């Protein structure tokens, strides 16, 4: 039987319960492992004697290892290639921002430098989105809750992570149980991430969205909409056939009514596919009764796999102007980060670079603070 990650919280609690060990020791163990990633279990003092043989036989401080670290030329983005114990690889991306560079309501934002971690939930993905490199891999396997949390542990040794976005490899809501458990762990000691600092992105898995508000209240929901009508959505996102746009919007309306929170709408800009003025008006009419933030995402090329071209800056600006001016919808344009290391949106696909690039450091505005 495979050894579990110490961050597989459900399994750890079950084992402790069977052995009569208090679960109150679990946050203490996690904190020690985060601070001492190469520790042996005997290094942790003050545990009940029954805990040591249990930990040695069933758990590892980490079941994954950091295979490669590669920085963008400006040092703003760092991509982590992580090897799992089954030999598969996943990628996570650290993005560094400065909230003081953005504005909200016409006024400078408070705060300072912070880092956001983009996390993977699966090896590969079964959604098959034609603009996404991960979709070209097909679906390989789900990650355990521990393998999800270990990405945060690895990243924390490079930067203090303030925000987590589930926008890496995989469809998070297709790995629902592990996702929920991992986020619960991230919200507790020693990570203490506020749910408002965690964003889960989905293509629109309706039955899972219906459960999300009760299982994970107060987190941010981002929906990969990418088209204002069903036929275009199906052309670029084959999985959308299973989630009709009308039913998806009804589900989002119920979610918003119950949660009272804004929903983030992700919209990739594909030249001559979904970026014309008529598409902006269709999207505005679709969303005008919702409380949303639309994030326009310039398409990032994915080599020979690409069917698409990137929309011009002029088209993106016109699209944004229509949504903001005609429909009063808050609309941002995502800053392109990590393209040179294939760490940008839609570019995550497992490869194994053999070097670490370097460059001058700098900070960018948070993706939600741009062009406001």
> How far from chain centre, in Å, is Cα 113?
19
Give CA torsion, residues 290, 184, 14, 33, to 10 deg: 150
**What separation in angstroms does the CA of 338 have from each of 204, 271, 331?**
26, 21, 22
Of the listed 11, 91, 150, 266, which one is catalytic? Answer: 91
Of the listed 118, 125, 129, 345, which one is catalytic? Answer: 345
Residues 312, 349 contacting (CB under 8 angstroms): no
228 backbone dihedrals φ, ψ, rounded to 5°: -90, -5
Nearest to 112 by CA among 101, 126, 125, 121: 101
Q: How far apart are CA 172 and CA 168, in angstroms?
A: 9
Residues 213, 255 contacting (CB under 8 angstroms): yes
- 91 as an active site residue: the answer is yes
State whether residue 276 is helix, strand or coil: coil
Return the number of other C-beta atoms located less than 10 Å from residue 97's C-beta: 26
- 9 by Cβ neighbours in 10 Å (0-12 / 13-18 / 19+) ranks as buried
Q: How far apart are CA 241 and CA 245, in angstroms?
A: 9
Which bin fits 159, alpha (ψ -120 to 50), beta or left (φ > 0)? beta
Structure tokens at 313: 């800056």
Return the number of other C-beta atoms located less than 10 Å from residue 216's C-beta: 17
**What separation in angstroms does the CA of 65 have from each of 106, 212, 323?**
44, 30, 44
- Residues designated as active site: 91, 345
């Amino acid at each position: 039987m495979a050894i579990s990650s110490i961050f597989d919280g459900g399994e750890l609690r079950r084992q402790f319960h069977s052995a009569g060990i208090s679960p109150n020791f679990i946050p203490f163990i996690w904190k020690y492992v985060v601070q001492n990633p190469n520790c042996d279990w005997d290094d942790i003092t003050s545990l009940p004697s029954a805990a040591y043989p249990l930990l040695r036989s069933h758990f590892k401080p980490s079941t994954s290892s950091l295979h490669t670290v590669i920085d963008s030329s400006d040092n703003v983005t760092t991509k982590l290639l992580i090897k799992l114990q089954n030999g598969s690889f996943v990628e996570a991306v650290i993005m560094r921002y400065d909230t003081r560079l953005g504005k909200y309501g016409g006024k400078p934002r408070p705060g300072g430098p912070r880092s956001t971690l983009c996390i993977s939930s699966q090896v590969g993905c079964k959604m098959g989105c034609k603009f996404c490199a991960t979709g070209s891999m097909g679906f390989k396997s789900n990650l355990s809750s521990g393998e999800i949390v270990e990405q945060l542990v690895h990243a924390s040794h490079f930067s203090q992570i303030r925000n987590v976005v589930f926008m890496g490899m995989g469809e998070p809501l297709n790995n629902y149980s592990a996702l929920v458990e991992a986020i619960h762990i991230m919200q507790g000691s020693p990570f203490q991430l506020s749910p408002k600092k965690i964003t889960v992105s989905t293509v629109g898995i309706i039955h899972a969205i219906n459960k999300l508000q009760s299982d994970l209240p107060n987190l941010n929901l981002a929906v990969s909409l990418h088209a204002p009508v069903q036929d275009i959505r199906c052309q670029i996102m084959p999985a959308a056939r299973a989630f009709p746009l009308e039913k998806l919007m009804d589900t989002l309306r119920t979610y918003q009514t119950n949660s009272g929170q804004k929903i983030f709408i992700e919209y990739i800009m594909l030249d001559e596919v979904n970026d014309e003025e008529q598409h902006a008006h269709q999207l505005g009419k679709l969303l005008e009764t919702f409380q949303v933030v639309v994030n326009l995402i310039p398409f990032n090329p994915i080599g020979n796999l690409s069917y698409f071209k990137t929309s011009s800056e002029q088209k993106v600006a016109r699209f944004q102007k229509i949504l903001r001016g005609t429909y009063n919808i808050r609309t941002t344009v995502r800053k392109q980060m990590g393209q040179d290391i294939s760490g940008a949106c839609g570019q995550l696909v497992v490869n194994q670079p053999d070097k670490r690039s370097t460059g001058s450091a700098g900070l960018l505005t948070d993706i939600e603070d741009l062009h406001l």
